[in-house]
A and B are shown apart, each in its own frame.
Chain A
């Protein structure tokens, strides 16, 4: 699920609407400023009775339904194309498919760092893609060995892509099943 910029705006607008509705009901019940007594529903009734109103309501229903559907579906992550351009001259160009690199990086990290269950995902950056590796730590490891392994992986990526077309980020999560690993691993 992706985080959307519209979520904050939409949440703020809906929050204000709901607060206003709640305040109106409270005013109706407790009569704080006498606004409800002056409320004239005649104009609203006339509008609802008018011939055009059902059409407007139908159109509003369609617009709202489309908005709601878009707001729901826009957060589904879109597959990211693997190609990243390394260089081009005249009519020649070189692209690299980052999808082919990710498995190697996963293997590298799993082999060199005290971690298991490495997964990867790619995100777009300014001039290429970021490969984010995520792994579960072995509780017997230490931060220094994690850092050494991460520096190795980072260095190999930096050596291959000095201009930063492909970068790597490593996130270490909690052990998957604490204390239930059967075979000890030596690093």
Chain B
């Protein structure tokens, strides 16, 4: 381990990204991003019940290209965190630990979270007309 007189052999700098580590890091990042989104959600609800002009301002900002992009990424983060969370629940029950299952469930999480995001946005845009 750490010994100031010796160099530490490189780890994250040289280790090859794999589905295992990439999805784990993404789970943490999406969780972080979602907690920022939770702050926004509270601000939005608070504005809705208190300040009409603040509510209009927030809605206007969320409808801008940047706001829409952020909302899209939040949707993706939500579905990814949800799907990968279910994968973690199965692991907690000691299910799906064969390497083939780990990779299969990983790809299912990737494709289903992207798919659910696209379906949600298609429905939302269709509803908005």
A and B: partners? no
